[in-house]
Amino acid sequence: MTKETVASRVESSAVGQVSTSEADRTQEPHEGMTFESEEAARTYYDEYAGTAGFITRVMSSRKSERDGSIISRGLGCRGIPDNQRPGSFASQKRDRRRDACTAMILVKREKPGMWVVRKLVRDHNHPLVMSPTKRRPIFDEKDKRIQELTAELRIKKRLSAAYQEQLLSLVKDVESHSEHLSTKVQAVHRILKELEAKRQELSNPSIQHK
């Protein structure tokens, strides 16, 4: 495999790890959307909720039995705000239980550094604060530019790490090859010395009769 082929594969791999996640974050939420962490998913859904006209809440969490870390998180709509509900505090609590909104996303940790939306419920059972026709884009042009620059920076960092790994691998190969050559050179040098001693012995009869 040539150095150009290795470099091409490293670059393609590093770019692919970032592009899906960064591109999706400028879109409406959908199943299969990826994030680099659970915090990134929560931040995205909070921002999306703010532009869509609802308030978020944590609906569920699941921890790893091995190390206790969070491996899935359910984020959903809190429903109609209390200040928009008519009636007393007690009746508002009853209304919340009865009218709990089911709009939500479920993100799961597929592997380190990759959280994926595995379930999505878009529909709300209550009117949103902001009309859908008046929603602004989730990200304006400045935000998108920041996302693009961040993605580019991450690609460069991952390319640098990948090239460093390849370089270390090549250095190890060279060192191993050098050790092998050194052993061969020593063997050849020893044989040459033995041959030279033999030649001198044959060319000097006085040495033979001692």
Reading phi first (left if > 0) and then psi (alpha if -120 to 50, else beta), residue 112 is in beta
What pLDDT, on a 0 to 100 scale, did the predictor assign at position 16? 43
As a 3-state breakdown, the chain gives helix, strand, coil percent values, each rounded to 5, of: 55, 15, 25
Give phi and psi for 87, each to the nearest 5. Answer: 95, -175
Please write the tens of the pLDDT for every residue from 19-40.
344 444 457 899 999 999 999 9
42 pLDDT band, cuts 50/70/90, is very high
Burial 88-109 (b: 16+ CB within 10 A, else e): eeeebeebeeeeebebbbbbbb
The pLDDT value given to residue 94: 53
pLDDT at 11 over 60: no
Condensed to tens digits (0 to 9), the pLDDT of residues 149-167 reads 888 888 888 888 888 888 8
Q: Where are the alpha helices (DSSP H) in 25-135?
A: 38-52, 89-98
The phi, psi pair for 122, rounded to 5°, reads -85, -40
Q: Does this model's pTM top 0.95?
A: no
Instruction: Indicate whether 6 pLDDT > 50.
Output: no
Whole-number pLDDT of residue 50: 87
The residue ranges of every structural domain in the chain are: 27-138, 162-208
- Among candidate residues 108, 3, 25, 114, the one with its CA nearest the CA of residue 60: 108
3-class SS of residue 74: strand
Q: Are 86 and 9 in contact (CB under 8 A)?
A: no
Residue 96: pLDDT band with limits 50, 70, 90: low
pLDDT of residue 174: 80
* pLDDT reported for residue 51: 87
Q: What is the mean pLDDT of the chain?
A: 76
Give the pLDDT confidence score for residue 103 in this predicted structure. Answer: 94
